[in-house]
Amino acid sequence: MQAPFTRSTPKPPSPEAGVLSSVRGSLAGIVVLSVIGAAGSVVPFIAIVELARALMPAIDGAPVDAARVWLIVSIAIAALIVSVGTAFLSGVVGHFADAEMQHSLRQRIIRHLQRLPLGWFDRRSSGAVRKLVENDVVALHQLVAHSIQDVLTAITVPVISLVYLFIVEWRMALAALVPLVAILLVYPLMMRGAGEKYRQYDQATQALSGATVEFVQGIAVVKRFGQVGRSHRRYSDATREYVRFVGEWTRETAVSFTIVELLASPIVVLAWLLAAAVWLVGNAGVAPVDILPGILLGLGLTAPLMKLGASGQFLRNATKARQSLSEFFGLAPVSAPDRPETPEGHSVALDDVSFGYLDSHRVLEDISLACAPGTVTALVGASGSGKSTLAKLVPRFYDVDEGSMTIGGTDVRRIPSNELYRRVGFVFQDVQLLRASLRDNIRLTRPDATDAEVEAAARAAQIHDRILQFARGYDAVVGEDANLSGGEAQRVTIARSLLADAPILVLDEATAFADPDSEASIQRALSTLAASRTVLVIAHRLHTIVRADQILVLDNGHIVERGTHEELVASDGRFAAMWSDYQRNHARSLPEGAGA
């Protein structure tokens, strides 16, 4: 007896540091270089003060220590060179590390995508995958290439400056601290509730983006049918909501933002420091030369902080991207069998199968069926009855919760993936074509297929003549010089499945987008293909499955009826009612060659 299987669940997200593990050494180098560069940038200002002290005796006609003057000048020049050099090196290391990180992450993402169950892709749009591979990785650029240096500079420069100021003249140091402390007090007021506001901002942005894409993509259709106003309404509503939210948030933060900008303004800071300097010189007996460092260095305390605040949105995006990638890498890959087995034959069987998505209730309950080689099994039922989910258990888009799903008597979880997909082909309504030539799209499942085999598959799928209408024929690139309708794209995927020559086929309304003239031809091609294969087909057009060997009627995740078309019509049950409604609504005769 085979050992029981348990449904795998996603692993906890890996530590966020794992996302940047490939550049950990480079990050350490960036930290060291950034600190040295930030410290070096303060030294020339300190050198100006010390140079003034060294030259002060000249005012009274006393001799100047030339050696000390030249030492100070040399230190200032050396510090300036070190500061510029380390800042440059830090930027270079950061951008090289960024390039390495992006390359490493994309390779790692692709490897992980290859190991994920197909159901993960089935429940996500291509945009969600693109976000991981492109947007999230690019968002980390700011973190690696810029933000580390910005943060360390924002900390190092004020700390070194304040330490020196307190050593030289503590009262001037306190005066220099006043604008910094004021900003730190007002800034939290400005950012109060920012977490919720950013969430609402993301929602408004996504809604506007989606409405814009929908409006642009559908403009030709809505113009044709005179519905421009209706289609434009969602776009207008999304735009108004976005403008309203941004305007409201701007008004709420305008006063505090203006105060922060004024407090950090060089003119305001300089005016405050000069006022403090005049008071200290006139009332506290502080020597003018001791005031100079406070003025020079005090001006540089707020700028790094404001620069850090300005890059807050980039840091936020990078943090979200890092979290998103960590959660993605924490997803459990499809389990590989410890002892792979090879199926004996091409029968398909489900035995007391139950299944539910991780975020929902049970979709299938106690499903049992057997599909013999050379037969066609059709699944029908209302939307949401579980037809598509059941069909996707065969190519292992998902693993069952209970029971077993077998091919040739072997549980699909014991069949290696490459062996499984040599035996199971599938065509679903969601057509996926690559931006490649039509020839390469058809032989995607068999890269070594000859041109003659590709053409034979295209002929069987009734797409050959349409392909020849393009200037470059089979070399025409999808999306460039080959623009296909929905039905034509569907027939390309059918040709791809025919070329794969898999002994088991899963078809989800394979003729859903076919035009009436070619539908019967496609049905004949599929009927010929099914002669020695196990076929499981989901059908909404009931006339296409009247010749199926068995029809299963699903309702709310259960099989409520099964039999041939004639048997089910004669039983006067649910299928009979569906067939009667179908004939009445469509008022059409069965096309020649109808069936699976």
For the chain, the residue count is: 596
pLDDT at 254: 81
| Average pLDDT score over residue span 251-261 | 82
Instruction: Report how far apart, in Å, the C-alpha atoms of 588 and of each of 12, 149, 541 are.
Output: 54, 71, 11
Tokens of 150: 């910005």
Which residues, in sequence order, are CB contacts of 407 under 8 Å at separation 6+? 343, 346, 347, 348, 394, 415, 420, 423, 424, 504
Q: What would the pLDDT profile of 269-283 be if each residue is shown by its tens digit?
A: 889 999 999 999 888
pLDDT at 275: 92
Q: Which residue has the tokens 């139950």?
A: 354
CA–CA gap between residue 549 and residue 346 (Å, rounded): 16
CA–CA gap between residue 204 and residue 175 (Å, rounded): 43
Residue spans per domain, the chain: 16-329, 348-586
Percent pLDDT > 70 in the chain is 84
Q: What would the pLDDT profile of 452-468 be if each residue is shown by its tens digit?
A: 999 998 988 888 989 99
Number of H helices, E strands in the chain: 22, 10
Q: Which amino acid is at 257?
A: F
Percent pLDDT > 90 in the chain is 19
pLDDT at 565: 92
Give the three-state DSSP class for 589. Answer: coil
**Minimal CA–CA distance to 507: which of 421, 592, 596?**
596
In which band, very low, low, confident or very high, does the pLDDT at 192 lie, cut at 50, 70 and 90? confident
Q: Does the predicted model carry a pTM greater than 0.85?
A: no
Weakest mean pLDDT among 22-26, 390-394, 472-476, 516-520? 516-520
Q: Which helix (H) or strand (E) holds 92?
A: helix 66-115
Q: What would the pLDDT profile of 400-412 be if each residue is shown by its tens digit?
A: 889 999 999 899 9
In which band, very low, low, confident or very high, does the pLDDT at 348 lie, cut at 50, 70 and 90? very high
The CATH code of domain 348-586 reads 3.40.50.300
Q: Which is more confident, 310 or 582?
A: 582
Q: Which amino acid is at 304?
A: P
Q: Which amino acid is at 151?
A: V
- Mean per-residue pLDDT over the chain, rounded: 81
Q: What would the pLDDT profile of 527-541 be if each residue is shown by its tens digit?
A: 656 667 888 988 877
CB 340 within 8 A of CB 414: yes
Tokens of 526: 């599929």
pLDDT at 525: 59
Q: Which is more confident, 264 or 586?
A: 264
pLDDT at 582: 85
CATH superfamily of 16-329: ABC transporter type 1, transmembrane domain (1.20.1560.10)
Q: What would the pLDDT profile of 55-98 be if each residue is shown by its tens digit?
A: 887 777 788 888 888 998 999 999 999 999 998 898 888 888 88
Rg over CA atoms, the chain:
35
CB 377 within 8 A of CB 549: yes
Tokens of 412: 């699909």
Q: What would the pLDDT profile of 102-149 be if each residue is shown by its tens digit?
A: 888 888 888 888 888 777 776 665 556 767 777 788 888 777 877 788
CB 422 within 8 A of CB 463: no
CA–CA gap between residue 391 and residue 414 (Å, rounded): 19
Q: What would the pLDDT profile of 504-524 be if each residue is shown by its tens digit?
A: 988 876 555 555 655 665 666
Give the three-state DSSP class for 81. Answer: helix
